[in-house]
Amino acid sequence: MNIINEQEIDDEINNYGSSITLIIKNGTFNDYGDESCSTTSITFVAVHNDISGEEDFNKEGIYSPGDKVFFAKHDQENLDNGNEIIYNSNSFRINQVVNHHIQEQDYVKEVRCIKVK
């Protein structure tokens, strides 16, 4: 028996979230090692939170004030390291994605991002 179902979490994200643009990067390399990159963009809803730099997950000092955490629905795809999120006219590079789950079921994705300067 589930204490909470993923639809309840998805509804909360829809209610409190903002529209986010995800830039999906598809890169390839030629025989000489030159990179070619194409991009695709999609829009989805996520709840954002500012990173202060004092968080427990930031013991290595990777994140600093101005960076963000986005909470996305459990089934949101393409949240891969290196892809970018555009929020409020600012660009953030996805650095880490944490799947939170209860009773072996995914409920929300925590997307930790570094602001692109």
Hey, is 41 helix, strand or coil? Answer: strand
How long a stretch of residues is the chain?
A: 117
Give pLDDT tens digits for 48-79.
999 988 888 888 888 999 999 999 999 999 99
pTM of the model: 0.84
> Regarding the domain with residue range 6-115, which homologous superfamily does it belong to in the CATH classification?
Bacteriophage SPP1 head-tail adaptor protein (2.40.10.270)
Predicted pLDDT of residue 76: 94
61's tokens: 């000092």
Grade residue 106 by pLDDT with cuts at 50, 70 and 90.
confident
44's tokens: 């989805």
d(CA 55, CA 48): 15
Domain map (residue ranges) of the chain:
6-115
